[in-house]
Amino acid sequence: MLRFQPPAPKPPARKAFAYVTSGTRLLLFTHPRHPQAGIQVPSGTVQPGERPGDAVLREAYEETGLRELTLGAWLGRDVFDARPFGKEEHHDRWFWHVVAGGEVPERWDHDEMFSENGSGPIPFSFFWAELREPLPPLIAGHDRFIPELRQLLGIE
């Protein structure tokens, strides 16, 4: 007799999130072609065999184009249900502080060349927000470890 076996649940997708700072400013971005994507911080998928700390630096570079990035402190880990945001998955999220060195522009646009869905370059518009002031609302839990970042920087 055959019995129905429901498929095993998908393991959470591992994601690395970069809180890139310059002094007490946090790097944020929007998607000019998709304003509904909200305001975000650089983030992306941890590849098989890749360490989350390595992934966060790779993702921060790929998304921003900034070359002088240094891995700072690990801020925390969170499991996030992405289904309300149109993705049938859970995320195992790793949040890191990343320091931008050298001179950084106030605002700039950069195309991420390595989109996860293979759709081609994705344009992002970057800007800095002062962490001593209230931040604009970030989408989908991107603000989860902002209090820890502020504490680390001696702001709160």
**CA-based nearest residue to 34, from 85, 105, 79, 93:** 85
> Given this model, what pLDDT does residue 85 score?
84
Residue 112's pLDDT is 82
Give tens-digit pLDDT for 88-118: 889 999 999 999 999 999 999 999 866 565 6
Residue 23, pLDDT above cutoff 90 = yes
pLDDT score at 117: 58
Whole-number pLDDT of residue 10: 75
Res. 8 pLDDT band, cuts 50 70 90: low
CATH class held by domain 13-152 = alpha beta
Task: Say which residue, 69 or 5, is predicted with more confidence.
Answer: 69
What's residue 118's pLDDT?
60
Instruction: Answer whether 14's CB lies under 8 Å from 23's CB.
Output: no
pTM: 0.90
Residue 87: pLDDT band (50, 70, 90) is confident
